[in-house]
Amino acid sequence: MIPENATVAPLLVDHAVPGPPQGRWTVAAWEGLPDNGNRYEILEGVLWMTTAPSAFHQWIVGRCIELLGVPARQRGLGIWFTAPIGVILSPHDAVQPDFLFIRAERVAALVRERRIHGAPDLIIEVLSPGNSTEAMAQKRALYAHCGVPEYVEIDPAQRCARVYRLEGDAYRAPLICDDTQTLPLSCLPDLPVAVAALFADAPDTTL
């Protein structure tokens, strides 16, 4: 569980975000936050915020689009989105994943009223230096609890990817793929992606 006294985010300690106390944020309150360039999420009613990611982070997200999203869409397998996009997992949980994929047969049920309502088939998060181990564990637990069947953490610092697959209501131990291996995705088995390709040719690899 997320502690009730968790801070909004390190970058918000000097000023308050108008809204409910931590632990009591709802999707309705989250929807009223200003569109000010920051990325807001609520996990179990706790508000979190991040600012603009690095160029390398966005390069990797772009490679996910090129190597997974576009080919999947062209083959009629489903659709993809990237942050900023609101994914509503419960009345107290709203996230903005770096990349997500929804199989074609589930699109109509999930994509409506400006948001994604329910668990996508795949969520990918690209780690940044500011991501704490605790925060990512909380988000991972939320994704499992809400039924995201496949979740991937791409780690630019280690040049690897960790693939989590749902078993019951929890993720199994991750399959760790380094930059000599291929990313195996259950939801897109015919679109193997070399892990190294996610990082290749980036003009700036500063984390």
pTM, full prediction: 0.92
How much is the average pLDDT of 135-149?
Answer: 96
pLDDT of residue 13: 28
What integer is the mean pLDDT of 162-187? 97
Is 36 in contact with 52 (CB distance < 8 Å)?
A: no
> Would you say how long the chain is, in residues?
207
Is the predicted pLDDT of residue 155 greater than 70, yes or no?
yes
State the pLDDT at residue 2: 39
Confidence band, pLDDT 50/70/90 cuts, at residue 134: confident
Nearest partner of 123 among 176, 81, 90, judged by Cα:
81
Identify any residues that bridge with 95 across adjacent strands, giving them in sequence order: 87
